[in-house]
Amino acid sequence: MSPTREADPLAQDFVTFSVEAGVLRFGEFKTKAGRLSPYFFNAGLFDDGAKLGRLAEFYARRLIASGLQFDMLFGPAYKGIALAAAVSVELARQGRNVPYAYNRKEAKDHGEGGTLVGAKLAGRVLIIDDVISAGTSVRESISMIQAAGATPSAVVIALDRQEKATDNGNDAPWSAVQFVQRQLGLDVCAIATLKDLLQYLETNQDPALGAHGARVAAYRDRYGV
User: Which residue among 79, 105, 108, 212 is the active-site one?
Assistant: 108
What is the identity of the amino acid at 187?
D
Active site residue 108: yes
d(CA 188, CA 193): 12
Q: What is the DSSP string of 142-195?
A: HHHHHHTT-EEEEEEEEEE--BEEEETTEEEEEEHHHHHHHTS--EEEEEEEHH
89: closest CA among 60, 121, 118, 125?
60
Is residue 118 helix, strand or coil? strand
Burial (0-12, 13-18, 19+ Cβ within 10 Å), 165: buried
Active-site entry in 30, 110, 120, 195 = 110
Return d(Cα 9, Cα 13) in angstroms, integer: 6
> Using CA atoms, how far apart are residues 137 and 217, in angstroms rounded to an integer?
28
Asked if 212 is an active-site residue, the reply is no
Question: 217 phi and psi, to 5 degrees?
Answer: -65, -40
Cite the active site residues. 108, 110
